[in-house]
Amino acid sequence: MSAAIATPHAGAPASDARIGLRGHLRHTGALIRRNLLWIRQDPESMFDAVLFPIVFCLLFVFVFGGAISGADNRQEYVNYLVPGLMAMMGMNIAQGVGTGFNQDFQTGVMDRFRSLPIGRASVLIAKIVVEIGRMLVATAILLAVGFALGLTVSDVPGLFAAVGLSMVFGFGVMWIFLTLGVVMKSAQAVQAMGFLVLMPLQFGSSIFAPTSTMPGWLQAFTDYNPLSSLADAARGLMNGGPVAHDILITVAWSAVLTAVMMPIAVRKYSTKA
């Protein structure tokens, strides 16, 4: 680890307010390197990013694709499903951020970081930057599987825009799970809470099936579900269709989540006993 964060100071840890922008960037870069080296030493930590997109894509295409689009028209369902799964990948990786962060507290890693003269936000931002990288890996694998199953993309710049939009939303959601990782007592509790939140959001959305077949009360829920907006925006960006409203809703949700949860996560991390 960089010498800039290697030597603890006696007394109270340094406040973020006393560390300049260059210091934050230097600390964040060193911590990003530390997290990447940890992944290199523990490649099993990438299993979720590598296997989830493969399993989910194959499972839903071959189990539900025939029922939704007809056995002879699975390609249509692939074009519908893959953009939706891009939104789902972000949520699943975000949940892993919380459980991993909590485990770092349990093993004493975070106690050591908090004793060092480094910016509190740097620790959290470094964690999120690495997780965004894992999201990109998961998305690349998802798209590779999708293309192998017949995915078509009519707008290549739109594809990259859809990936970027998924990253933006994932960035906002990660602050929620980082907060849960700090305040919950165990990684299992974080995982259970994440499951309770993610399941209704994922299945009560347009990720897996059109919402027109759902009951009216559930359609009302899906209309306000940000995952529906993200999935619909990704489909429109990749293969044409109206996107302005869904992009606006997704960006607004991302901005609000970041603005509200980021300071809460930093404060909880700084004051955790």
Total tally of structural domains belonging to the chain: 1
How far apart, in whole angstroms, are the C-alpha atoms of residue 258 and residue 124? Answer: 13
Is residue 71 a part of any domain in this protein? yes
Is residue 183 a part of any domain in this protein? yes
Of the chain, the end-to-end C-alpha distance in Å amounts to 25
Range of the domain at 115: 18-271
Averaged over 199-220, what is the pLDDT? 86
Share of the chain above pLDDT 70, in %: 88
Question: What's the pLDDT at 176?
Answer: 92
Q: Which of 43-47, 63-67, 103-107, 250-254 has the lowest mean pLDDT?
A: 63-67
Which residue, among 175, 174, 163, has the nearest Cα to 233 in the 3D structure?
A: 163
- What is the residue-averaged pLDDT of the chain? 83
Is residue 1 a part of any domain in this protein? no
Helices 226-239, 244-271: axis angle to 10 degrees equals 130
Instruction: Report long-range pairs for 16-25 (Cβ below 8 Å, ≥24 apart).
Output: 16/119, 16/120, 16/121, 16/266, 19/117, 19/118, 19/119, 23/119, 24/119, 24/121, 24/122
Is residue 24 a part of any domain in this protein? yes
Stated pTM of the model: 0.83
Q: Which of 22-31, 143-152, 220-229, 242-251 has the lowest mean pLDDT?
A: 22-31
Averaged over 244-265, what is the pLDDT? 94
Structure tokens at 103: 């485990």
Question: What's the pLDDT at 3?
Answer: 40
